[in-house]
A and B are shown apart, each in its own frame.
Chain A
Amino acid sequence: MLAYAIRRLGLSVLILIVVMTAMYGMVFLVPGDPASLALGPRATPELKEALRERMGLDQPILTQILYFFGNVLQGDLGVDVWSRRPVLDQILEVFPNTLILGIVALGWALIMGVLLGCAAVVWRDSWADRLLGVLSVSMISVPSFVVALYALIVFAVWLNWLPAIGAGEKGDIGSQIRALILPAFAVGIGWVGYLARLIRASLLEVMEAPHIRTARAFGMTERDIIFGHALRVAIVPTISVLAIGFGSILSSAVFVESVFSRPGIGTLITGAVEKRNYPVVMGCVLFMTAFYLFIVTAADLLIARLDPRVRDVLRG
């Protein structure tokens, strides 16, 4: 188990190093020098000179990269070109909003997806199963920010039930929850479809297994078999998909956060892109990559815990 965990972590670190190098190197690929790019079009020559010195651009490129890596390891992702605030502070300030959005979206998607997937298996090959199939595909393919816009018009503008923008008042849990509902709905809906299909396919495969035949031979009801025995086996592959799905959840969050002007990584990075605030953009990319790799690795280790067979193989 330990060796496995170390191998997984090693791969993650490798990917992170490649991403960091790519992010850093990208600045050099464009015409013009990194300092003026980082500073944007409005920079004065003095500012550029100061930054160039601070970025160590007079040093050999390898030294520069090592210097950059060293800073990142110390949690220094650079400073905002405009506000001069440390990038990491800005990220940590808004990240909880994005994290909660992602978790709630994935949470309701998981609950709905499991229920719909099980329903499709209970009614397999009936019209209900086919309807659920079409519904799942539709939910998967409809862009989340269009769902967000429509939900915004209906529930915030017309019905005025829920707030249209923001993440709620600080310290007021009620308003924060109300502000979370529509974004989480929009971000999660595609995953309801994904998970319903995945659970259905996985369950149908499990339902053919000999141990399900055993359960039937002992007179267990079909409902108990699906929820008590088959789902436990079928859910294991779902967890790794769920972790990878967190990546696409975060991607949807970028657009949906914009629609609801909800403070978060998405609004932070899109705002920075518009202002060509490269340190913030780079910081967000590095932070999200690291976070994502952490999630995927953690999920792999969780699977190893949940499936006793895998657990023992890794232990042995």
Chain B
Amino acid sequence: MTAIISVENLSISYRVPGGNLRALRDVSLSVARGEVLGIMGESGCGKSTLAAAMINLLPTGARISAGAVRLAGTDMLRLSPEDQRRLRGRSVAMVFQDPMTAFNPVLTIGRQLADFAGAHDPARAAPAALAAMLGRVGIPDPQRCLDRYPHELSGGMRQRVAIAAALLMQPDVLIADEPTTALDVTMEAQIIHLLRDLRSSFDGAIVIVTHHLGVIAELCDRVAVMYAGQVVEEGPVDSLFHDPRHPYTRALLACDPAVVDPASGRLPAIGGRIPDLTALPEGCAFAPRCGMAQPACASPVPRHHPGPGRSVLCHGAGP
């Protein structure tokens, strides 16, 4: 399979008072057409920076120290701002975490969708086209929805609208940043259901950023686990969930409320805190929290390939 979007050795840092915050370190990933990649990790591990880099929407102050994000071969990060803008929304589209704030409160849904589509192709901004797309994501009475203001819709409906907006231009890549986190459980199930339906009809690549293992298990083909700005483990979902090699992945899987034995009466948690990203050690960043740490963990970590499509960044995972 050829990758439609690929991240190559990407390193990004933010200038903060008292140093450089290294948000991403040497991250490499790729997604093919028809494939769904999940990115998971605790908050602060670099997931959102990675998602922002993939749509070229890094916050001011972010510095790309190395690497590239290639969309069908072209490095998006090196394009002119105007060319970058042309790709956003048309080739790469994004669904944001919080549907409560993702829409402009004083403009109608229809106006906003029309503006989004109109930025690239006025023909697709026609009300009929917009209503058709709203119907596709399961919004009842789409014609009326166009005249509504965002606050008049429920959170779940708004997230459906957000997904419809992202699909308007039939992008090559759809990035969903925590698409269900801000929703309650019922809504979450509905949105997961919608995304699963979309998989079959959508021929681009999908990237889902989440810390919710259920979302990954239900929707994704492959998963990348991030820790302290690095992809520490990557592989097909089934294989990785059944046979996690990185101690961090194992800990994450053990923390999932869905798999915790209710009889034990307590939720396990990973001890310790994520490391200070302005002063990272030369060796493994997870070592201070790792139950299996050895003296070798203080030296640079090699990447191992324990199976087909699998990779893991850990001293203990070697052959």
Contact = CB atoms under 8 A, between A and B. Distances in A.
**A and B, direct touch (CB closer than 8 Å):** yes
B116 interface: yes
A224 B88 contact: no
B85 A219 contact: yes
Contacts of B89: 217-220
Interface in B68-117: 85-90, 93-94, 96, 98, 101-107, 112, 115-116
A307 B106 CA distance: 6
A216 interface: yes
Given A210-B96, A218-B93, A218-B165, A308 B57 contact: no
B33 interface: no
Contacts of A74: none
Interface stretch (A20-28, A47-55, A227-235, A239-247): A227-235
Interface string A297-316: 00000000011110010000
Nearest to B60: A125
A7 interface: no
B88 A218 contact: yes
Contact of A218 (B101, B116, B151): B116
Interface in A203-219: 209-219
Given A220-B116, A309-B105, A213 B57 contact: yes
B106 A308 contact: yes
Contacts of A216: 57, 88
A229 B105 contact: no
B120 A224 contact: no
A210 B103 CA distance: 8
Given A213-B96, A308-B151, A219 B104 contact: no
Q: How large is the interface on B (under 10, 10 to 19, 20 to 34, 35 or more residues)?
A: 20 to 34
B101 A224 contact: no
B241 interface: no
B149 interface: yes
Interface in B92-150: 93-94, 96, 98, 101-107, 112, 115-116, 119-120, 149
Contacts of B105: 211, 233, 307-309
Given A210-B96, A217-B88, A218-B88, A224 B107 contact: no
B55 interface: yes
Contacts of A307: 105-106
Interface centre among A209, A216, A307 (most CB of B within 10 A): A216
A221 B84 CA distance: 11
Contact of B106 (A217, A219, A236): A236
A62 to B, nearest CB: 50
Contacts of A236: 106
B115 A233 contact: no
B151 A312 contact: yes
Contacts of B162: 214
A211 B165 CA distance: 13
Contacts of A220: 85, 89, 115-116, 119
Nearest to A220: B119
B207 to A, nearest CB: 14
Nearest to B55: A217
Nearest to B101: A210
Given A308-B106, A308-B149, A219 B90 contact: yes
Contacts of A215: 104, 112, 115-116
B119 A224 contact: yes
Contacts of A309: 105-106, 149, 151
B104 A221 contact: no
A224 B106 CA distance: 15
B51 to A, nearest CB: 10
A228 B118 CA distance: 12
Given A219-B119, A220-B116, A211 B101 contact: yes
Given A219-B88, A309-B151, 18 more contacts: A210-B102, A211-B101, A214-B94, A214-B162, A217-B88, A217-B93, A218-B88, A218-B165, A219-B86, A219-B87, A220-B85, A221-B85, A232-B107, A233-B106, A236-B106, A306-B106, A308-B105, A309-B149
5 contacts: A211-B103, A215-B104, A215-B115, A217-B94, A224-B115
* Top 3 A-B pairs, shortest CB-CB distance: A219-B89, A218-B89, A218-B116
